[in-house]
Structure 1
């Protein structure tokens, strides 16, 4: 089982869902993912493509024979729901069912907030909501009912270990002080207190750590790892007061620790940008951050291909950007990162200012939103390129997922100031990625077959030359043209239609070719198989290693 491959598959699926144009579609995927959680057995294995199809609402999905353990599927589903929620935030009072906070859930089940956090890793689904204008973690009533029905023993056992009262805490800490001052080892203190209070060892350890006794905490200040944990718990919905009490510090110290953790995260943000003289102009904000120019009156939606799955065909519902809109958005995207980068240089980690952190985070969120808009507006470009690189056993969805990643990287690296069209640059980037992936696959296959690594034979300092690569490509195209002359007219027409050779049209399915020629799909398949056999024999004689190496012999599966 290739775990890395599966993680990438789910990552591609998440990216595709996050790029959807409307909140309704994303929320539908999130709900289907939650419903799948209860049906996944951790001890079984599941096909990745089938799981992806269920999340997208597709019941009949072909298996790709690549499986993932149920435990890993559950982990991926929880992460996916969390990420979808982060970009599709709803007001808690506008949701059609009750939404409970972390503290309300803890009170209902008589457990601690930390227990609720642990149960999220066990399948308790949480989402981000807006409570009184602030983003916090919340739980749908239906999600709580589903988790309670699936884990009755877990909740019953958790309620037996209810939260320690302030009176118990004071008494326990006083005894801990007495034992530590008398020289008792911390491990013995924990064991004794756990036995006498009938609490778990972990509960006592956490209590002592929060009070700064024998743990990684120093009174009044936290180490960097603890600061990150504090910030993470705050984002999950815990109040600053509760966190201050938990970590044994005052509220102001907790706020400073949280800001230092925010600073560390901001320092790691990818804020590289394409510079422009426009950024230095006095009215830059007014010009660059203005509304996107309206579409022209004659702008139309592109024609939607009839042979695409519904979830890919929906990409064609997004209008194409005009040249003016595209330039405006790329200028805005890079300018937002430029402003965030300039502000980041003013940060002082030891004493960060909350307002400065807020400003940087706001600029970065706006930059991400702009990037997502540019990505969504060009997703159909990925489909057009991917269709040319799908072979007989290829998966269009997988190719589109790979292409989406290339598209997102292209958005980040595109220099709009040079005056080129983004579609030209993105097409080149997507094709380059497909060719590289195919080349690596062929090399890996040859390595397993021969047991020989060609890198051992490579001369030092050898680098590929674009000019020589282009010349080699043209030679292969000439060879393909010569080989095609060996086919009959009908064979040549079928091969050209299936592979899109000699024209700008898309590769055609067996059914479409049959309609064009007035024959059945099966007859087209037979003629194609006969023609391909001729081409293989001709390729061997012409010393072509593989017809697919030319980049032309790739077609759409029927």
Structure 2
């Protein structure tokens, strides 16, 4: 069983041991005899097979007694101290250096035993976080980093059971990973913690009062401004993919049911089609050059209106000549028999 290096575990934030018991009343957490299977939808494929093998392997590791934990913790502490002293020892061949090196090896061995004996505790804690955005494998990996940190920080002299102390670090590592990785749009960890506080107060007030509390009421409980609470609640909303299936058959996506505000309505589409037909009928009564000038000037062909200069270059005449043709042609269109019908589309 391999473990991550100490430097990787340094990512977890420090927490005072004294505050742990008060902040986490669940207290003592006994290790299960057998590592529990994760809840939720069963995973399939090579990853799930490897995870089941991992559960079988850690299930064969013997548990530790309280005395074993204290003894191993002593060795870990001595090994860490010896490692620091050894780094400052100038001559590695002295008797002191040899003794320190032996303590370092013993400390690392004890650390490995303490970690491996509590791997099933990580799996047990990870069950509580399944379905929140990370897979069971990811949760266990992050929890193992928290376990490593707990082994390094554990103070056996305070009298706490190791599993009680380690549970806090494991949960902390998983919570941080969920805040960093689980959301589609990453939100800073401190903002995620504030979101959780606002949502908890909102739910509690809903249960107590029987109605959805306003941002002002939530803000009064948290000593925040209503504007800040409203902003936090907007950040709490998770984005939904437009390709998400809808219905039991899952043959319709969410995007199929959302109205396109820029699309024309059926009535507008029909009116535009009739307008185009009438306009083409009117333009067909003009000469080819006059019709082309009007079409280019008002973008009736490709939707891009041309300037008098551009049209003049196309026909090889001056812009003034194009202006005269346009003016004369528009005058004829105003007197056309269908002019009043075309004006009706503009009303």
Relative to the length of structure 2, the TM-score reads: 0.42
Which of the pair has the greater relative contact order for Cα pairs under 8 Å at 6+ separation?
2
Give the structure-1-normalised TM-score: 0.27
